[in-house]
Amino acid sequence: MNKHIFSILLLVCTLFVQAQQSVQGTITSNKLPIEAATVAIPDAHLETISSQNGTYFFSSVPKGKHKLIVSCVGYQTQIIDITIPIAQQSVNINLEESVHQMDELIISTAFNKIQSQNVMKVEHQSLKSMQQKGVTSLAEGLATIPGVSQISTGTSIGKPVIRGLSGNRVLVYNQGVRLENQQFGEEHGLGLNDTGIESVEVIKGPASLLYGSDALGGVLYFNPEKFARVNSQQFNYHYKYFTNTQGTSQTLSYKLSGESLKFSTRIAQNNHADYTIPNKNRIVNTRFKELDFKTALGYISKYFNTIFSYNFNKIDLGIPEKDLEIPEGESSNNKNPLYPKQKVLGQIASWNSVFFFKYSKLETDLGYIDNHRNEFENSEIPILNMKLKTFNYTAKYYLPKGKYLESIVGVQGMYQKNSNYGEELLIPNASTQDFGVFATANYEKNKHTFQAGLRYDYRNINTITHGIANEEGYFAGNDKKFKSINGSLGYKTEWKKNTIVRLNVASGFRAPNLAELTSNGVHEGSNRYEKGNNDLKNEQNLQTDINIEYRNPHFELFVNGFYNRINNYIYIAPTAEELDGYLVYQYEQNNAYLFGGEAGVHFHPHPLDWLHIITTFECVTGKRTSGENLPLIPANKWNMNVKIDLKEYKNLSNSYFTINTDYFLKQNKISLFETPTQDYVLVNLGLGTKITLGKSVFDVYCNANNIFNKNYIAHLSRLKIDGMPNMGRNFMFGVNFTW
């Protein structure tokens, strides 16, 4: 009897070990152990660092196929496919030295490869590096990435622009789900706080294959911060002070991780007064206040892992109007917005799950997004009161991987409802339904990689009749259906030693949004009367991209070029009509094209290993096929960044000093209702270090932006029409404390 009980217990234990197995090994370079290398299995949310002897250990890894990724500063990132149960007892990895930035795993593309293996070039930027540039908002930080700009209204409102396209042509993903927050409006900001975000990935060009409608111009994919390492907890406090706006930004977070359960929570607050221009006057009502809360709970099991995430964001911000400039002696440091103003409440709830099978896996994402936007004219009774509720879902099945072939099939959809409760309506009450199905495959052999995919999308927009015909605020009921088939084809090869060439051709589409189809009224945020066009068709584009990269131990070069043809390009243009004292603008369509690119050099001369010289240039031109220039095309930009890595000294490490110069060229390729913008140069300085005291770590840094107090107006500033300059000199001081 005891013998049978023992046999049963032994069998149960054996099955458990087979389902969830330990993985261990040693990280070396030139046969020497590497300490503090990061070893991660991303889809199982497992991460550790190598010991002094170079060893690492994961006690329990779910069964199925995983990617084991090893990265360390000064070495090339390595990625290895493992299958649990694993055949060998140890997975040992040898790293090769590299002075360039670590190769990052790219999450936003189909097969989650590191950048050097990707068929598509994707820009990756950590939020830590953005914050250390002294930016006052997330949108301002995104504009430091080559090929990305922002349409700004002071410091509080920023809309990302990717290669000349913005609004509903740029899709934003956060917490793994699509963000919907009435992004059609130029004065409707990004709606995200930068805390609790690990990094951002930028797809520059059509990405409808994976993301459907609205990914015609590109995708901003925000990766949430990681959980604490297994069996550990972590506290963090981050504080920043900005002299120009007398603003503060602070955040407090806590993380706790066991073998299976993982938890994180974070609260953040931003407060800024009106910003100061070079003559020391302030631009009234550019002030804002923001409160942000994030939390996540994860569970890792034998056969699956699942993460629930929640984000609440509240922002109160002023809308600059007439009499924008306040003399220095009358300036106010008040951070409470004046009328007119906006109050925006946003909530994102997401649920990501990965189910592991023997040779394949299924990934699902469910999201609920609630956006409540109020605009106030002269009292606390909102003129505009819009509620947008969105439910979206994605399911991707990763088929068993062959020797050379990987493939994915998936479905994606969305249900959205817009409701109005205010005195005025900008867009009608309406519902939107999306459904898409797609398939993509990646074939890799020797030094050649091919990637292709196909997708079908369907969108239905149903609007409700409101108001009296031929009067302001009237909306006719309608039922619109839009369909599109899109595909992509990409090729990557290691053309010569140290040289990678990528060529991609992809189509994308965008169905007209509610504002473009139905608008009929004064929009206080833009100070104009807007009329929709019910006859608008799908925007459909085809973009060709080429990317060439060359890298050796001390020199790196990249060149990106693109040509983007858009049929039925939708834009808003002024008419000769005037209603209620406002100029009337109406949505129109015409074929258009954009072309341009980015180029850059990273020089790291030997033996001056402490010196980094990085320079980039970006340009874009946009025109209608009839010859007129497209509106809101950013000025060409040249950037030079010199970074000096300082030697370690006692408790100080990772110390640096930077000099950054931005030269924005004159923009005279303008649309009929724009004015030219003069060229200007901005110089920024940065200094920082890491202080280690026992188990506590401080990151201390400071920045001096626009150090020469240059008086300038950015081409994409919405205050340009009033002749209002951008921010003058601004000092920022920050401390990031982790224990």
pLDDT for 18 equals 43
Q: How confident is the model at residue 301 (pLDDT cuts 50, 70, 90)?
A: confident
436-442-447 Cα angle (round to 5) = 155
Q: What percentage of residues in the chain have a pLDDT greater than 90? A: 62
pLDDT for 188 equals 85
Q: How many other C-beta atoms are found inside a 10 Å radius of the C-beta of residue 439?
A: 16
For residues 325 and 332, give the distance between their C-alpha atoms in angstroms, rounded to a whole number. Answer: 11
Residue 241 reports pLDDT greater than 90? yes
In tens, the pLDDT along 414-457 reads: 999 999 998 888 889 999 999 999 999 999 999 999 999 999 99
Between these two residues, 334 and 501, which has the higher pLDDT value? Answer: 501
pLDDT for 60 equals 79
DSSP conformation letters of 256-307? EE-SSEEEEEEEEEEEE-PPBPTTS-EETT--EEEEEEEEEEEEE-SSEEEE
Q: How confident is the model at residue 727 (pLDDT cuts 50, 70, 90)?
A: very high
Q: How confident is the model at residue 306 (pLDDT cuts 50, 70, 90)?
A: very high
Which of these, 297, 334, 293, lies nearest to 314 by C-alpha position? 293
pLDDT for 88 equals 63
Which residue shows structure tokens 């100070």?
A: 527
Q: What is the mean pLDDT of residues 11-31?
A: 65
Q: What is the mean pLDDT of residues 493-505?
A: 93
Name the least confident of 95-104, 222-231, 638-647.
95-104
What's 328's DSSP letter?
A: G
Residue 706 reports pLDDT greater than 50? yes
pLDDT for 358 equals 86
Most confident of 32-41, 42-51, 305-314, 528-537: 305-314
Mean pLDDT of the chain: 89
DSSP conformation letters of 403-424? SSEEEEEEEEEEEEEEEE-SSS
Q: What is the mean pLDDT of residues 26-48?
A: 87
pLDDT for 234 equals 94
pLDDT for 449 equals 96
Between these two residues, 727 and 721, which has the higher pLDDT value? Answer: 727
Domain ranges for the chain, please list them. Answer: 2-98, 123-738
CB 247 within 8 A of CB 272: yes
Beta strands in 383-516 (DSSP E): 384-398, 405-420, 430-445, 448-463, 478-496, 499-510
pLDDT for 7 equals 42
Helix (H) or strand (E) segment spanning residue 242: strand 232-242
In tens, the pLDDT along 187-240 reads: 788 889 999 999 999 999 998 889 988 888 999 999 999 999 888 999 999 999
pLDDT for 80 equals 84
Alpha carbon of 6 to those of 1, 3, 12, 19, 21: distances in Å? 9, 5, 10, 20, 22
Topology of the domain covering 123-738: Maltoporin; Chain A (2.40.170)
Q: What percentage of residues in the chain have a pLDDT greater than 70? A: 94
Q: Please state whether the predicted TM-score (pTM) of the whole model is above 0.85.
A: yes
CB 141 within 8 A of CB 129: no
Q: What is the mean pLDDT of residues 67-82?
A: 84
In sign, the C-alpha dihedral spanning 465, 469, 470, 474 is: negative
Q: What is the mean pLDDT of residues 716-733?
A: 94
Q: Identify the CATH number of the domain defined by range 2-98.
A: 2.60.40.1120
Q: How confident is the model at residue 681 (pLDDT cuts 50, 70, 90)?
A: very high
Which of these, 509, 460, 1, 439, lies nearest to 212 by C-alpha position? 509
Q: What is the mean pLDDT of residues 660-682?
A: 95
Name the least confident of 124-138, 530-544, 550-564, 636-650.
124-138
pLDDT for 474 equals 83
Most confident of 9-23, 174-188, 700-714: 700-714
